[in-house]
Amino acid sequence: MSNAVPTDYASARERVDALRRRLQHHAQQYHVLDAPEIPDAEYDRLYDELQALEQAHPEWVTADSPTQRVIGAVLDGLKPVRHAVAMLSIQAERDTSEASARRFDARVRKALAAAAASTPTAVSESTSASQSTSAAAAAAAAAPELASASASASPSAADAPLLAYSAELKFDGLAINLRYQHGRLVQAATRGDGETGEDVTHTISTIGDIPQRLRGAAASAAAVIEVRGEVFMRRDHFEQLNEQQRSKGGKTFVNPRNAAAGVVRQLDARIAAERPLSFFAYGLGDVQGWDPPPTHSGLLTALAAMGVPVNDERAVVLGADGLVAYHARIAARRDALPFDIDGVVYKLDSRALQLQLGFKSREPRWALAHKYPAQEQMTALNGIDIQLGRTGKLTPVAKLHPVFVGGTTVSNATLHNVFELRRKGVRVGDTVIVRRAGDVIPEVVGRVPGERPAYVPNFRMPAQCPVCGSAVLREKGGIDHRCTGGLFCATQRKQALLHFAGRRAMDIEGLGDKLVDQLVDSGLIRTLPELYTLGVAKLSALARMADKSAANLLTGLERSKQTTLGRFLYALGIRHVGETTAKDLARHFGSIDRLMDASADRLLAVRDVGPVVAQSIRAFFDQPHNREVMEQLRAAGITWPESDGSADKTDAAPRPLFGKIFVLTGTLPLLTRDEAKDLIEAAGGKVAGSVSKRTSYVVAGEEAGSKLDKARELGLPVLDEDGLRALLDAG
Ligand SMILES: [Zn+2]
């Protein structure tokens, strides 16, 4: 993908012009329209190439070159805001190796020494002192407690005490300036071009994380405190949003940052309110009437005390080794974080030293953004395969020219469904953008505009299942294609078995991925009931099956026979029948026979069962082979306590939490999260994943996170485990 730097003068000149045009186009797509066409990594490559050419030919540098200014313009409909203090960017280091951190530390030391030598008011240190000593002395003057810590931290470098840095995550979102006057939020603005941003107070005010009022007397007394930070969308919220968009055939967002930017710059605050955003502060803008702490880390702590969200992964580290260790530690945590980061940021912790160093061409000398491998890359789409899921869903999968993305090499990525694939206009032979972040399956998020072969046929879903040859159907109005083979289809059989054996279903201990593969591939198991006909003889026929694991499986199977109707129904893997619906059905009908014979109308009488679910349940029990499976499983000895009563009687059972919505957060002293969920549901309540105005109670344990903060903000009742039990007992 990279272009060789031209060597002759004329073609280099042409290349500079071409690069500027392309970068300006892509910057417009990214910053103004929130619709990037190429991955950031590709933009960075073009930018670096332009910068290298301009360094070789300084006479070509113009004021409007993308290397010379922050790009960003005000979107039509939003009001421009002139920043009281310019919002500058931090120098980014795209070399992800530890050498970058070491070079930065060396640069800072050198610059501090130069500043100390040239400024008479700087810390008095004899001019004969070494550079590093005077820099360290300056650090000692600004932050004595840290300098003494550093001396003991590294005895081997006694002549070069270490500088203290504040190290933080680099959130992949949108920079925002929050202006508080006497503690009250009066304005929120985007960065824009650094001098002028956009007024987005209307959308920012919908973000629960951002306080409308700062806590504490100091904040109330201050005429102005501008808090700067990043607005971003958590990965799970992003996945939910895209899933919603996909299910209604709407446009999906390329990445969380893009989605967050789109929401913040949304003219309609109501749309913004439906799309959850988060915020972390990382600095200050204009300040009047408040004396901030002398260190950057102290400032972040002070902001947190005022009620502003500040990320907990921040740390104060010493010297280059400290920076390197922090970069490595966060890299290992990156996928586990609930949001995207594209690097870490180092800032000289002492604000006095920051002032001494100042700025170089609009970037602070005392800060560095040290990147991680990009989570989006370009690559060639070589083909499209079909992958079959447990429920029989057919997913188009991109076969890619292998590409290093998000820290790993990817050669397959999901294209989700045929409609999304067509809407994105992706075809074999295209250059596409691949994203891989966190535990999410890599996906193709779009195609890079460009040339393509004259004729490539549109992708079509096959009419037959690639695994079993059964007919492929699409539900009326649905977007997914499915194999109708059911247990007849080997892929669905394996996954149906795994689902059946799952912890929240029949809970068969000893039946995992590998064993299921063996059982199905060897032909031992073709239907669910055959599981219960396994004996030592059959199992010992399997290669590598130890006697002990055979015995374990047989015990597990025997134990699983005593179950509940709810678990059993869930285990069957009926489409649209999740755990909660299965429990509701069990409670409503009380017996499997009544359920199997229930008309669609009677099914609709069950709480939360709509036409689609009712149709799916009917379709399942209308298949003669599924009824047969039911009989065989019961014949194998699977039992559960049946309730005799009619639906009305079972529904009349005490349900003290009926209609109440709970959110669980943190670790409870005795109950696991699953147990708490079961208790709440058994009492008629619901458990939701996120806090909103509709939440009835938040149950919080140890290390409760932002959900608890949000609950407090909304003034919701917060319970501990005892409180929950009291509520349950009240019925
Ligand atoms: Zn099939």
Say yes or no to pLDDT of 200 above 70: yes
Helix (H, G, I), strand (E, B) or coil at 31: helix
The amino acid occupying position 512 is G
Q: How far apart are CA 653 and CA 673, in angstroms?
A: 24
Which residues lie below 8 Å from residue 236, measured CB to CB, with a gap of 6+? 338, 689
Known catalytic membership, residue 494:
no
**54, 67 contact by CB (below 8 A):** yes
* Residue 35 pLDDT class (50, 70, 90 cuts): confident
In CATH, 486-560 is 1.20.210.10: no
* Residue 177 pLDDT class (50, 70, 90 cuts): very high
Helix (H, G, I), strand (E, B) or coil at 704: coil
Centre of ligand 1 from the C-alpha of residue 490, in Å: 7
Common-topology check for domains 486-560 and 565-651: yes
Q: How far apart are CA 473 and CA 471, in angstroms?
A: 6
CATH superfamily of 376-447: Nucleic acid-binding proteins (2.40.50.140)
Q: What is the pLDDT of residue 550?
A: 82
Cα–chain center distance at 678: 27
Centre of ligand 1 from the C-alpha of residue 629, in Å: 18
Q: How far apart are CA 8 and CA 131, in angstroms?
A: 42
Residue 439 tokens read as 């535990």
**473, 464 contact by CB (below 8 A):** no
Q: Which position has the higher pLDDT, 405 or 29?
A: 405
Q: What is the pLDDT of residue 8?
A: 80
C-beta atoms surrounding 62 within 10 Å: 10
Please work out, in degrees rounded to the nearest 5, the angle formed at the alpha carbon of residue 532 by the alpha carbons of 552 and 547.
Answer: 30
Centre of ligand 1 from the C-alpha of residue 489, in Å: 4
| Identity of the highest mean pLDDT range in 207-211, 346-350, 636-640 | 346-350
Q: What is the pLDDT of residue 123?
A: 43
Average pLDDT, the chain: 85
Centre of ligand 1 from the C-alpha of residue 542, in Å: 25
Half-sphere exposure of residue 199: CA atoms within 13 angstroms, side-chain side: 10
Q: Roughly what angle, to the nearest 10 degrees, separates helices 9-27 and 40-56?
A: 140
Mean pLDDT, residues 527-533: 89
Q: What is the pLDDT of residue 169?
A: 98
**142, 294 contact by CB (below 8 A):** yes
Residue 312 tokens read as 């907990």
Centre of ligand 1 from the C-alpha of residue 511, in Å: 23
Mean pLDDT, residues 113-124: 66
Q: What is the pLDDT of residues 652-677, one digit of tens each?
A: 456 778 778 899 998 888 888 888 88
Q: How far apart are CA 295 and CA 314, in angstroms?
A: 13
Which residues lie below 8 Å from residue 314, measured CB to CB, with a gap of 6+? 166, 167, 168, 169, 297, 300
In CATH, 1-69 is 2.160.10.10: no
Say yes or no to pLDDT of 254 above 50: yes
Q: What is the pLDDT of residues 597-645, one digit of tens each?
A: 999 889 998 887 888 889 889 888 887 778 888 889 999 999 998 775 4
Element (H, E) at 228: strand 224-232
* Residue 36 pLDDT class (50, 70, 90 cuts): confident
DSSP count for the chain of H helices, then E strands: 28, 24
Residue 609 tokens read as 């069962």
For 290-318, b/e burial (b = at least 16 CB within 10 A) is: eebeebbbbbbebbbebbbbbbeebbbbb
Centre of ligand 1 from the C-alpha of residue 232, in Å: 41
The amino acid occupying position 448 is V
Mean pLDDT, residues 284-301: 97
**Rounded CA Rg of the chain:** 30
Mean pLDDT, residues 675-693: 85
Q: How far apart are CA 391 and CA 623, in angstroms?
A: 16
Q: What's the Cα-to-Cα distance from 369 to each of 220, 328, 350, 366, 702, rounded to whole Å?
A: 33, 14, 18, 11, 33
Centre of ligand 1 from the C-alpha of residue 383, in Å: 21
Burial label for 586, CB within 10 Å (0-12, 13-18, 19+), is buried
Q: What is the pLDDT of residue 5?
A: 54
Q: How far apart are CA 531 and CA 542, in angstroms?
A: 14
Spatial CA neighbour of 88 closest among 195, 203, 163: 195
Q: pTM above 0.75?
A: no
* 661-729 CATH choice from 1.10.760.10, 1.10.390.10, 3.40.1400.10, 3.40.50.10190: 3.40.50.10190
| Identity of the highest mean pLDDT range in 19-23, 137-141, 523-527, 545-549 | 19-23
The amino acid occupying position 308 is V
Cα–chain center distance at 41: 19
Centre of ligand 1 from the C-alpha of residue 464, in Å: 8
* Residue 685 pLDDT class (50, 70, 90 cuts): confident
Q: How far apart are CA 572 and CA 579, in angstroms?
A: 11
Which residues lie below 8 Å from residue 457, measured CB to CB, with a gap of 6+? none
Which residues lie below 8 Å from residue 17, measured CB to CB, with a gap of 6+? none
Domain boundaries, the chain: 1-69, 376-447, 486-560, 565-651, 661-729
Helix (H, G, I), strand (E, B) or coil at 190: strand
Q: What is the pLDDT of residue 681?
A: 82
Catalytic, out of 170, 371, 583, 686: 170
Which residues lie below 8 Å from residue 370, measured CB to CB, with a gap of 6+? 93, 96, 100, 101, 104, 323, 327, 343, 344, 345, 346
Say yes or no to pLDDT of 33 above 50: yes
* Residue 67 pLDDT class (50, 70, 90 cuts): confident
Domain 565-651 class?
mainly alpha
Burial label for 176, CB within 10 Å (0-12, 13-18, 19+), is buried
Say yes or no to pLDDT of 244 above 60: yes
**599, 556 contact by CB (below 8 A):** no
Q: How far apart are CA 116 and CA 142, in angstroms?
A: 13
Bridge-based pairing state of the strands 481-483 and 472-474 = antiparallel
Dihedral sign, Cα of residue 683, residue 688, residue 690, residue 693: negative
Beta strands in 341-437 (DSSP E): 341-348, 359-360, 363-364, 367-371, 376-388, 393-405, 408-414, 431-435
